[in-house]
Structure 1
Amino acid sequence: MTATATDLAAVTAELAERAEEHDREATFPHEGIALVHRHGLLTATVAQRYGGPGAGLARTVEILTALGAGDPAVALVTAMTLFTHAGQARTSSWPAPHYRQLLAESAGGPALVNALRVEPELGTPARGGLPATVARRVAGGWALTGRKIFSTGAEALAWMLVWARTDEDEPRTGSFLVRGGSPGLRIEPTWDHLGLRASRSDDVVLTDVRVPIDATVELAAPVPDARGAELFAWNCLGLTALYLGVANAARDWLVRFLHERVPTSLGQPLATLPRFQAAVGEIEARLLSAEVLVRALAAGVDAGDPESIRRAGLGKLAGTRAAIESVQDAVALVGNNALNRRNPLERHLRDVLCARIHTPQDDTILAVAGKAALARYERTSTP
């Protein structure tokens, strides 16, 4: 059973208690992941045919917004696992025995999963190209060799979907199911980032890591990042929800500060001044608009609406910009103290800026939207 709205608020509060510590020390939040697991959130998107709750994107957006407000590193790691189960609910792409094993492990404790696709030379595969990671046929299966970067939650992953190409005369690409801790697998602690420091998105180095012959997902002739429009929508809107959660946390801190700060020259809280009231109102309007948009698009995706799926990228653009601008406004209102490392706003600002780097990035979203709009004009103006 997944958490209720009241439970989510409690989870947010408990995650927030240690978020600053994990950020400062760049340590993985194992206890936060355990908390999320206890509340059934790691497996919320497991399909009902597998005995799970079968949560859709709208519920996932709600969950990730709450987790993002507490500890966005926990939210990001959770998102990767939720997206994996959601993908299996739609396509059943995992080999049945291996997915049964994942579900069995998930019943006993956190079983984190992530798709490792980014490489040093290639960058993100969304912009094209073949992986340098190679899967070589050996007796009884495959041997994988390569390096993956930005591998969120690497040290704690139970399963890694490693995107690789085969060494065949006509190479195929696909994801190979690698167990965490496999012989030949090494986590290199390279993550030293501006934000989301506790996500431990370190490098994963594979040297002849053995994988059973059937432990592959969507192994086929190479096609440009063909993971599907619906998965694209889940990534866009789910991750945007996470950063809206960060902005909500910054807004809440700002509101408390304005009530508690009483300058001696004023003799009353800053919250009583029209200038601050209007500024907070601007933040409220921006965040409300973004949250309504993201939730509406998520509901549309759940309903199979093709327009909602197509517009998910614009939802990410609008939502992440609203989150970033809101946190920046909060920092500007507080002034110099907001950038002190002891101030939560400093951490929220660093974390929310990470919204810009997730695929698809703004230039891609805008180019696709612009081309679509121009194409509509051409169709309507043709005699």
Structure 2
Amino acid sequence: MTAFDPTRYLPDDLLARIRERAPIHDRENTFPQQDLDELRDAGYLSILVPVERGGAGLGLAEAAILQQRLAGAAPATALAINMHLVWTGVAKVFSDRGVPGLEFVQDGAVAGEVFAFGISEGGNDLVLFGSDTAAVPDADGGYAFTGTKIFTSLAPVWTRLGLHGLDTTSADAPKLVFAFVERTDAVTTSDDWDTLGMRGTQSRTTRLDRAVADAAHVVRRIDQGPSADPIVFGIFSVFEILLASVYTGIARRALELAVATAQTRRSKKSGAAYSQDPDIRWRIADMAIAYDALPPQIAALARDVDERVDHGPRWFPALSGLKHRAVTMAKSVVDEAMLVAGGGSYFSGNELSRLYRDVLAGMFHPSDPESAHATAASAWLGPVEA
């Protein structure tokens, strides 16, 4: 078997250009349009689409490697692209399992469409399992969505928004409805993304006022609450694995910067490079030990999704635990890298300073620490008694 070559899809020169633009978008709080354009031209938006539909035919395991690589150059670009890749990844989960309904996502990605992720809602800790957005059916099998979605990455550029809402009016209500809407006058994007980090994602608030998904773009109607439906498993598995990949990529870059600093800085006291200092060596070793655990964990779970391994209910603690470990590891590694690099890393123009701010976003993505721990506790101890 030929080893996977990530440079085929993310060449070094492309990454260099993306890395060069990253501080500009962070400083100016702008969307990395050139990054998106170059990635689209390189076929990156369709890496998870099967070859027979015009894509690269990669698996989630390969996409995870690529997202780690992209995040090392520009975390905000990687996180923004993640949300598009989540939907193409869910489409792959469907097609791999013989479930129809998301072929239009695959074809759209090949044609250059950009899919955004409209699931998060303020105060809705049910996340995938419930929605405060109203989904009202029409006579033709479509739905009109009214509500507010937050953290909508790719806000300036998406062409279709994948979202969910709650149908409370049909005979079999309540039902959660998953569908895709186009950008129309019924969709308002607020210019409210002024954040500590991950500024290039432009994950703005999106308000829907009877935004219509026609019947062809209504993907699933399911009961509220935890579910084994392919839409829930697809979103949860791809989202958590690709999120873990982005933050693991940030950790790798922070470790590289710490090593470079240790090798170039010299002690005035001893004249030796910092790389010879036992305390610095211990600190970098600790970072490396923490980082080294995550890429194989990501690879293993991604490969299981690709190969349709059935972990049953164990999937959810495994996936939420992976995401939690990745983001906590990444934050710890960046913290340590700042200490290795010294006071210069505190300046906003320093790359580590940007990574320090970017990595904080990891704690706010689902599954949050509380959810991850509750899921693990239930897996090992059973549900909390009523």
Corresponding residue of 2:346: 339
1:213 and 1:289 mapped to 2: Cα distance?
A: 44
Q: What TM-score comes out, normalization by structure 2 length?
A: 0.86
Unaligned runs of 5+ in 2: none
Q: Residue 188 in 1 paired to residue 190 in 2?
A: yes
Corresponding residue of 1:131: 132
Q: Residue 305 in 1 paired to residue 312 in 2?
A: no
Q: How does 1:185-334 map to 2 (within 5 A)?
A: 185-224=187-226, 227-307=231-311, 309-310=315-316, 311-334=318-341
Measured after TM superposition, the shift of residue 66 of structure 1 is 0.6
- Answer whether contact 2:88 2:106 (CA < 8 A) is retained: no
1:94 and 1:146 mapped to 2: Cα distance?
A: 27
Corresponding residue of 1:174: 177
Q: How does 1:97-116 map to 2 (within 5 A)?
A: 99-100=103-104, 102-103=105-106, 105-109=108-112, 111-116=113-118
Q: 1:195 to 1:91 in 2, by over 3 A?
A: same
Q: 1:235 to 1:155 in 2, by over 3 A?
A: same
Q: What TM-score comes out, normalization by structure 1 length?
A: 0.86
Measured after TM superposition, the shift of residue 58 of structure 1 is 0.9
- Answer whether contact 1:148 1:203 (CA < 8 A) is retained: yes
Measured after TM superposition, the shift of residue 233 of structure 1 is 2.4
Measured after TM superposition, the shift of residue 184 of structure 1 is 2.2
Alignment-mate amino acid for residue 364 of structure 1:
S
Once the two structures are superposed, residues 260-289 of structure 1 have per-residue CA deviations (whole angstroms, 9 ceiling, x without a partner) of: 223444434322323222221221121112
Q: Residue 79 in 1 paired to residue 82 in 2?
A: yes
Corresponding residue of 1:374: 381
2:140 and 2:57 mapped to 1: Cα distance?
A: 38
Once the two structures are superposed, residues 112-164 of structure 1 have per-residue CA deviations (whole angstroms, 9 ceiling, x without a partner) of: 112312223435524x5432334353778543322211111111111101312
User: SS where residue 45 of structure 2 aligns?
Assistant: coil
- Answer whether contact 1:94 1:216 (CA < 8 A) is retained: no
1:144 and 1:329 mapped to 2: Cα distance?
A: 45
2:368 and 2:352 mapped to 1: Cα distance?
A: 24
- Answer whether contact 1:129 1:224 (CA < 8 A) is retained: no
2:350 and 2:93 mapped to 1: Cα distance?
A: 42
User: SS where residue 154 of structure 1 aligns?
Assistant: coil
- Answer whether contact 1:149 1:202 (CA < 8 A) is retained: yes
Q: 1:230 to 1:117 in 2, by over 3 A?
A: closer
2:373 and 2:233 mapped to 1: Cα distance?
A: 17
The one of 356, 365, 383 equivalent to 2:372 is 365
Alignment-mate amino acid for residue 82 of structure 2:
A
Corresponding residue of 1:354: 361
User: SS where residue 360 of structure 1 aligns?
Assistant: coil
Q: Residue 45 in 1 paired to residue 48 in 2?
A: yes
Q: 1:322 to 1:211 in 2, by over 3 A?
A: closer
The one of 31, 42, 45 equivalent to 2:34 is 31
- Answer whether contact 2:130 2:166 (CA < 8 A) is retained: no
Alignment-mate amino acid for residue 319 of structure 1:
A
Measured after TM superposition, the shift of residue 167 of structure 1 is 5.5
- Answer whether contact 1:130 1:165 (CA < 8 A) is retained: yes
1:150 and 1:104 mapped to 2: Cα distance?
A: 25
Corresponding residue of 1:165: 166
Q: 1:326 to 1:228 in 2, by over 3 A?
A: same
Q: 1:158 to 1:252 in 2, by over 3 A?
A: same
Q: Residue 57 in 1 paired to residue 57 in 2?
A: no
Measured after TM superposition, the shift of residue 21 of structure 1 is 0.9
1:185 and 1:9 mapped to 2: Cα distance?
A: 36
User: SS where residue 228 of structure 1 aligns?
Assistant: helix
Measured after TM superposition, the shift of residue 35 of structure 1 is 2.1
Once the two structures are superposed, residues 88-124 of structure 1 have per-residue CA deviations (whole angstroms, 9 ceiling, x without a partner) of: 223256747xx44x55554453x21123122234355
2:146 and 2:130 mapped to 1: Cα distance?
A: 18
Deviating more after overlay: 248-257 vs 366-375: 366-375
RMSD (CA atoms): 2.7
Once the two structures are superposed, residues 281-326 of structure 1 have per-residue CA deviations (whole angstroms, 9 ceiling, x without a partner) of: 2211211122222222222332233348352222222222221111
1:130 and 1:350 mapped to 2: Cα distance?
A: 30
User: SS where residue 148 of structure 1 aligns?
Assistant: strand
Once the two structures are superposed, residues 174-193 of structure 1 have per-residue CA deviations (whole angstroms, 9 ceiling, x without a partner) of: 1232112x122221011122
Deviating more after overlay: 188-197 vs 117-126: 117-126
Measured after TM superposition, the shift of residue 370 of structure 1 is 2.5
Unaligned runs of 5+ in 1: 376-383
Percent identity among equivalent residues?
23
The one of 15, 20, 24 equivalent to 1:17 is 20
Alignment-mate amino acid for residue 342 of structure 2:
G
Alignment coverage as a number of residue pairs: 368
